Amino acid sequence: MSEIISRSEEETKSIAAELVTRLPAGSVVALRGDLGAGKTAFASGILTALGAVGPFQSPTFVIMHRYDFALPSPQGIRRIYHIDAYRINASDDLARLGFEEWISDPEGLVLLEWPERVESILPKKIVTVSIETVSETERGISVCDSE
């Protein structure tokens, strides 16, 4: 696992857009990092790459935003489930909203902010993106595949 340094929000979005070219449909991506680290920026890079039109916000209050794409990505992704678990207190709450369905959608891609809030229901196979704030404009980004 190597760390890439991003020096701007745009660069973080480009790194995200590059990652999505390597993600098969059905992937679950956990976006880890403190408040303001750039989890939503990273998610936006993926959403834009697949054809969604921004601006994008963390779905903090609605918990999940679903995006449907008219054309599937080359990897067969037709839907993105962008989840923000920041306000979730118990894993069960996310389970009740349909988490199992979202992560088992073979044509879906799940982007999950604040996975530490729902650790106990995370699938074994998961791609973890960790974003570390180095300075006001610099972020250390590492991507780790569970397998």
Residues of this chain that bind Mg ion (CB under 5 A):
39-40, 58, 113
Question: Which residues contact ligand ATP by CB under 6 A?
Answer: 6-9, 11-12, 33, 35-41, 58, 113, 137-139
Nearest to 71 by CA among 49, 93, 92: 49
Please give the angle made by the CA atoms of 93, 95 and 96, to the nearest 5 degrees: 65
CB of 115 to ligand ATP, least distance (A): 12
CB of 23 to Mg ion, least distance (A): 19
CA distance 20 to 57: 19
Q: Which does 9 bind (CB under 5 to 8 A by kind): ligand ATP, Mg ion, none?
A: ligand ATP
**Considering beta carbons, is residue 21 or 60 the nearer one to ligand ATP?**
60
Nearest to 134 by CA among 15, 31, 36: 36
**Residue number, nearest CB to ligand ATP:** 38
Which residue in this structure is represented by tokens 């779905």?
Answer: 59
- Are the C-beta atoms of residues 143 and 19 closer than 8 Å to each other? yes
CB of 113 to Mg ion, least distance (A): 5
Which residue in this structure is represented by tokens 């180095």?
Answer: 134
**Considering beta carbons, is residue 36 or 76 the nearer one to ligand ATP?**
36
